[in-house]
């Protein structure tokens, strides 16, 4: 087929524009991205060849070659991987298949600072070539196709690309970058070797470059030069990182490996490498990222743990290896026991896989406990204590058996992971944004960073992982009435409980401000009883799976009548009983007027400044959760709330004998709905009634 012009998918064109404009100051990452694609392509071939070894043809080696031509101003990355057919080149290099891309591009604002931060989190893969090249030629042949079915793809990154058929003797792909004049430093052997060492040393494939040697000038006075020897030399260590002894792996290498497997630009918060022996044998290298991906809330999103069997890549995102509530974890599991031809279906049934998943879960929980402990220790330490701990030093867990408690290594100062920021236009860049993020993460403490980014997902574990519920419970953090911080653990709360207090009190609302100012907690505030404030969508659901913590029941203050038990003195109890008695006729009248809206009307001692509030029955679903489910289009049982009134309040006292009783009763109810975060059923009627009072 002859040459054909194609247009990029709209999002690709937009992304390309941003890539070349926003990532300018960290341009060298393009090499990591291209080598990483080359390595993925080799992994894919190796995997497909398990079923069909003829795919190797007469070219059994899997390798990456990097070459450059100073005179032609080109840099070429060639791999002997799976390659691409014509259709694949059009599809894969002209569209972005990643989920969340549309959403991602729609969030780009045109503001360079914000956008570069977003791009940094998204990862740009192949397109990063355009940071240093004004034209890219890709030549490829898919494994198994004849030489005449090669393809050439050419684009200058401006909206269109050309595709034509070529004859290509070798299987695999060559990406030829036509370097921009300000990127000629990458047509240099030393510079390339330095970058390969920095970014790709951990890749298990050999990355080769043609050797060079110094040759003196042939005639007197003529300068000497480096000339190519024609021999290809392997530049990297070419052994999978997780197979090396821990002591031989530097922090930089761990971080680089993370960036490759997670497609992230920022350093991880923590990692753990372990060789597990026992009934099933495997190596796990797990990372906790430092920020949430775009699609964290997609519960069907595949987990980010890659499966290898005896060093052979089997699949990305093997969801069976990690429970869903830990879907943010990235890394690699290399099993010694699973068969090479293992399928996703087989994984579901495998006992080995179950025990790997349990081992991974325990390991991640240990890593989180370690982060929390370090942060707590730093917070408790006097100001002069070990500065490295306060600075959010790296958290690493030593290699060892999977069942051992991970021992943190001696700590070092955290690095920002960005070494070469050359800010050309004074504009903030992805690298700046990453550095700023790292600085913030350091300041707030790593566990707090983790909690801010992933806490809501971890909470799902209360309902999903019964066996580890207690460990998860200890990792929970909430805002509370005791202060402004949102890092109160249940253990902290328990330690501060008042004498006689029998429950851990909490309230859920649509927002933290709503929870903090809720009438339902007035008496708690007055008495100085701490209440945990929750505004996460998963809070109520997750807590329904945790009736108690460490033997103390958890009690929603918005459910059931408030019973402060021993926290109320005799005089208070007596006053409450008397008040209830005296307003009985009023309650009856209110019940009659509001019978369509409420289940019951009763007097409460929980209110101090407000006239009324709404609660649900003990086992009922909170109104907030019911609202949320309704919004999500789900069926919710039609239960009515209970209206509780404050017999001491002037408005309530005014009700008695008032000739506008019915209107006031409705206003009282609607205001309680508003205070709880809802909307009156008939807002216009509410406004009319209030206006009638105002004139
Ligand atoms: N060297 C290569 N050999 C074969 N296919 C390739 C090669 N480079 C890219 N591709 C194909 O092009 C697709 C797009 O590559 P790109 O780097 O943009 O995204 P990605 O690798 O899927 O994701 P990421 O942005 O996370 O790296 C790849 O998924 C792959 O199918």
DSSP string, 623-692: HHHHHHHHHTT------PPEEEE-TTSHHHHHHTT-TTHHHHHHHHHHHHHHHTT---SSHHHHHHHHHH
**Total residue length of the chain:** 695
Residue 234 Cα to ligand 1 middle (Å): 23
pLDDT at 435 over 70: no
Instruction: Name the band, by pLDDT with cuts 50, 70 and 90, for residue 578.
Output: confident
Rg (CA), the chain: 32
Residue 124 Cα to ligand 1 middle (Å): 10
Instruction: Name the band, by pLDDT with cuts 50, 70 and 90, for residue 570.
Output: confident
Q: What is the pLDDT of residue 380?
A: 77
CB 287 within 8 A of CB 255: no
Pocket flag, ligand 1, residue 121 (CB < 6 Å): no
Nearest CA to ligand 1 atom 24: 125
Instruction: Name the band, by pLDDT with cuts 50, 70 and 90, for residue 605.
Output: confident
Pocket flag, ligand 1, residue 41 (CB < 6 Å): yes
Pocket flag, ligand 1, residue 174 (CB < 6 Å): no
Q: What is the pLDDT of residue 407?
A: 36
Mean per-residue pLDDT, 587-611: 89
Instruction: Convert the pLDDT of each residue in 27-49 to its tens digit.
Output: 888 898 899 889 989 999 998 99
At what angle are helices 661-675 and 683-694 packed, to 10 degrees?
Answer: 120
For residue 360, what are its two tokens?
Answer: 């991974």
Pocket flag, ligand 1, residue 94 (CB < 6 Å): no
CB 515 within 8 A of CB 534: yes
User: DSSP code of 557?
Assistant: T
Instruction: Name the band, by pLDDT with cuts 50, 70 and 90, for residue 631.
Output: confident
Residue 246 Cα to ligand 1 middle (Å): 30
Nearest CA to ligand 1 atom 30: 92
Mean per-residue pLDDT, 639-667: 88
Q: What is the pLDDT of residue 275?
A: 93
Residue 635 Cα to ligand 1 middle (Å): 43
- Tell me the ipTM for this assembly: 0.97
At what angle are helices 584-593 and 570-582 packed, to 10 degrees?
Answer: 60
Instruction: Name the band, by pLDDT with cuts 50, 70 and 90, for residue 539.
Output: very high
For residue 149, what are its two tokens?
Answer: 């079915």
Instruction: Name the band, by pLDDT with cuts 50, 70 and 90, for residue 617.
Output: confident
Mean per-residue pLDDT, 253-262: 88
Residue 125 Cα to ligand 1 middle (Å): 7
Considering only 220-234, 449-463, 622-636, which range has the smallest mean pLDDT? 622-636
Q: What is the pLDDT of residue 425?
A: 32
Pocket flag, ligand 1, residue 42 (CB < 6 Å): no
For residue 223, what are its two tokens?
Answer: 């300068």
Instruction: Name the band, by pLDDT with cuts 50, 70 and 90, for residue 184.
Output: very high
Pocket flag, ligand 1, residue 624 (CB < 6 Å): no
Nearest CA to ligand 1 atom 20: 125
CB 304 within 8 A of CB 311: no
Residue 126 Cα to ligand 1 middle (Å): 6
For the whole model, what pTM was predicted?
A: 0.70
Pocket flag, ligand 1, residue 173 (CB < 6 Å): yes
Q: What is the pLDDT of residue 4?
A: 92
For residue 215, what are its two tokens?
Answer: 């040759």
Q: What is the pLDDT of residue 640?
A: 86
Residue 163 Cα to ligand 1 middle (Å): 17
**Ligand 1, from 78, 92, 172: best to mutate by most atoms within 8 Å of Cβ?**
92
Considering only 458-472, 528-542, 651-665, which range has the smallest mean pLDDT? 651-665
**Ligand 1, from 44, 84, 125, 262: best to mutate by most atoms within 8 Å of Cβ?**
125
Instruction: Convert the pLDDT of each residue in 354-374 to its tens digit.
Output: 999 999 999 999 999 999 999
- Cα 321 from Cα 260, distance rounded (Å): 19
Q: What is the pLDDT of residue 133?
A: 95
Nearest CA to ligand 1 atom 1: 38
pLDDT, mean over the chain: 83
For residue 536, what are its two tokens?
Answer: 């996460």
Instruction: Give the residue from 296, 186, 310 showing the smallest Cα distance to 242.
Output: 310
Instruction: Convert the pLDDT of each residue in 301-310 to its tens digit.
Output: 555 898 888 8
Pocket flag, ligand 1, residue 172 (CB < 6 Å): no
Residue 208 or residue 606, greater confidence:
208
For residue 126, what are its two tokens?
Answer: 């192949």
Considering only 59-68, 177-186, 442-451, 586-595, which range has the smallest mean pLDDT? 442-451
**Ligand 1, from 12, 38, 126, 260: best to mutate by most atoms within 8 Å of Cβ?**
126
Q: What is the pLDDT of residue 281?
A: 93
Residue 71 or residue 378, greater confidence:
71
Of the chain, the percentage scoring pLDDT greater than 90 comes to 43
For residue 124, what are its two tokens?
Answer: 């740009």
Residue 131 Cα to ligand 1 middle (Å): 16
Nearest CA to ligand 1 atom 28: 92
Cross-strand bridge partners of residue 554: 504
Instruction: Convert the pLDDT of each residue in 89-141 to its tens digit.
Output: 999 998 775 555 666 667 666 666 666 656 655 556 788 899 899 999 999 99
Q: What is the pLDDT of residue 23?
A: 66
Q: What is the pLDDT of residue 111?
A: 66
Residue 580 or residue 285, greater confidence:
285
Residue 1 or residue 400, greater confidence:
1
Considering only 395-399, 547-551, 604-608, 649-653, which range has the smallest mean pLDDT? 395-399
Q: What is the pLDDT of residue 406?
A: 40
pLDDT at 295 over 70: no
- Cα 412 from Cα 361, distance rounded (Å): 26
Q: What is the pLDDT of residue 507?
A: 93
Pocket flag, ligand 1, residue 81 (CB < 6 Å): yes
Q: What is the pLDDT of residue 583?
A: 86
Pocket flag, ligand 1, residue 123 (CB < 6 Å): yes
What is the dihedral sign for C-alpha 292, 293, 296, 301? negative
Residue 9 Cα to ligand 1 middle (Å): 15
DSSP 123-190: --GGGGGGGTEEEEEEEEE-TTS-GGGEEEEEE-SSSEEEEEEE--SSSEEEEEEEE-GGGGGGS-HH
pLDDT at 387 over 60: no
DSSP H stretches of helix in 544-618: 570-582, 584-593
- Cα 74 from Cα 78, distance rounded (Å): 13
Nearest-atom number in ligand 1 for the CA of 172 is 3
Nearest-atom number in ligand 1 for the CA of 97 is 22
Q: What is the pLDDT of residue 330?
A: 94
Residue 343: CB atoms within 10 Å: 10
Pocket flag, ligand 1, residue 38 (CB < 6 Å): yes
Residue 93 Cα to ligand 1 middle (Å): 7
Instruction: Name the band, by pLDDT with cuts 50, 70 and 90, for residue 694.
Output: confident
Of the chain, the percentage scoring pLDDT greater than 70 comes to 83
Considering only 67-81, 93-107, 248-262, 350-364, which range has the smallest mean pLDDT? 93-107
Pocket flag, ligand 1, residue 79 (CB < 6 Å): yes
Q: What is the pLDDT of residue 215?
A: 84
Cross-strand bridge partners of residue 309: 312, 335
CB-based contacts of 666, cutoff 8 Å, min separation 6? 593, 594, 685, 686, 689
Phi, psi for residue 640 in degrees, rounded to 5: -95, 150
Q: What is the pLDDT of residue 174?
A: 98
Nearest-atom number in ligand 1 for the CA of 93 is 12
Instruction: Convert the pLDDT of each residue in 501-517 to its tens digit.
Output: 889 999 998 899 989 99
């Amino acid at each position: 087929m002859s040459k054909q012009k194609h247009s990029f998918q709209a999002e690709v064109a937009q992304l390309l524009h941003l890539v070349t404009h926003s990532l300018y100051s960290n341009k060298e990452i393009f090499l990591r991205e291209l080598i990483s694609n080359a390595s993925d392509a080799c992994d894919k071939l190796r995997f497909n060849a398990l079923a069909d070894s003829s795919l190797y043809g007469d070219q059994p080696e899997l390798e990456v070659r990097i070459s450059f031509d100073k005179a032609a101003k080109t840099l070429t990355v060639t791999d002997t991987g799976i390659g691409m057919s014509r259709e694949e080149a059009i599809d894969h290099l002209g569209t972005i298949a990643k989920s969340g891309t549309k959403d991602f591009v729609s969030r780009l604002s045109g503001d360079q600072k914000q956008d570069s931060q977003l791009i940094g989190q998204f990862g740009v893969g192949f397109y990063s070539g355009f940071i240093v090249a004004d034209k890219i030629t890709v030549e490829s042949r898919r494994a198994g196709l004849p030489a005449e079915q090669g393809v050439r793809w050419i684009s200058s990154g401006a909206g269109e690309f050309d595709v034509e058929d070529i004859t290509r003797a070798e299987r695999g792909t060559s990406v030829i970058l036509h370097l921009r004049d300000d990127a000629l430093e990458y047509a240099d052997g030393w510079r390339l070797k330095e970058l390969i060492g920095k970014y790709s040393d951990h890749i298990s494939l050999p990355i080769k470059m043609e050797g060079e040697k110094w040759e003196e000038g042939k005639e007197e006075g003529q300068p000497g030069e480096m000339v190519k020897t024609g021999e290809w030399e392997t530049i990297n260590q070419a052994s999978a990182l997780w197979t090396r002894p821990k002591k031989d792996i530097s922090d930089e290498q761990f971080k680089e490996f993370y960036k490759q497997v997670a497609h992230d630009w920022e350093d991880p918060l923590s990692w753990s490498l372990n060789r597990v022996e026992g009934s099933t044998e495997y190596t796990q290298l797990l990372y906790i990222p430092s920020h949430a991906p775009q699609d964290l809330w997609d519960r069907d999103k595949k987990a980010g743990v890659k499966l290898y069997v005896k060093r052979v890549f089997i699949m990305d995102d093997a969801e069976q290896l990690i429970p869903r509530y830990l879907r943010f974890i990235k890394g690699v599991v290399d099993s010694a026991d699973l068969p090479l031809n293992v399928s996703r279906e087989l994984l579901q049934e495998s006992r080995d896989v179950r025990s790997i998943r349990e081992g991974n879960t325990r390991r991640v929980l240990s890593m989180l406990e370690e982060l929390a402990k370090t942060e707590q220790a730093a917070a408790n330490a006097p100001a002069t204590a070990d500065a490295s701990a306060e600075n959010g030093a790296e958290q690493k867990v030593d290699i060892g058996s999977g069942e051992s408690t991970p021992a943190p290594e001696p700590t070092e100062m955290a690095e920002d992971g960005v070494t070469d920021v050359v800010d050309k236009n004074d504009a903030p860049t992805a690298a700046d944004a990453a550095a700023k993020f790292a600085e913030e993460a350091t300041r707030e403490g790593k566990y707090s960073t983790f909690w801010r980014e992933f806490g809501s997902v971890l909470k799902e574990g209360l309902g999903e992982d019964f066996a580890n519920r207690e460990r998860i419970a200890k990792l929970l953090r909430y805002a509370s009435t005791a202060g402004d911080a949102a890092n109160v653990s249940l253990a902290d709360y328990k330690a501060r409980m008042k004498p006689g207090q029998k429950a851990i009190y909490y309230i859920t609302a649509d927002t933290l401000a709503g929870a903090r100012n809720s009438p339902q907690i007035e008496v708690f505030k007055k008495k100085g009883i701490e209440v945990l404030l929750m505004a996460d969508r998963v809070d109520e659901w997750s807590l329904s799976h945790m009736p108690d913590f460490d033997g103390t029941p958890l009690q929603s203050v918005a459910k059931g009548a408030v019973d402060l038990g021993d926290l109320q003195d005799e005089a208070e109890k007596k006053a409450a009983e008397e008040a209830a008695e005296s307003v009985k006729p009023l309650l009856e009248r209110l019940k009659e007027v509001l019978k369509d809206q409420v289940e019951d009307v009763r007097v409460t001692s929980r209110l101090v400044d407000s006239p009324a509030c709404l609660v649900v029955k003990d086992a009922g679903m909170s109104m907030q959760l019911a609202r949320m489910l309704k919004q999500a289009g789900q069926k919710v049982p039609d239960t009515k709330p209970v209206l509780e009134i404050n017999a001491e309040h002037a408005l309530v006292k005014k009700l008695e004998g008032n000739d506008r009783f019915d209107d006031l009763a409705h206003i009282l109810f609607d205001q309680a709905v508003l205070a709880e975060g809802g909307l009156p059923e008939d807002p216009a009627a509410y406004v009319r009634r209030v206006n009638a009072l105002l004139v």
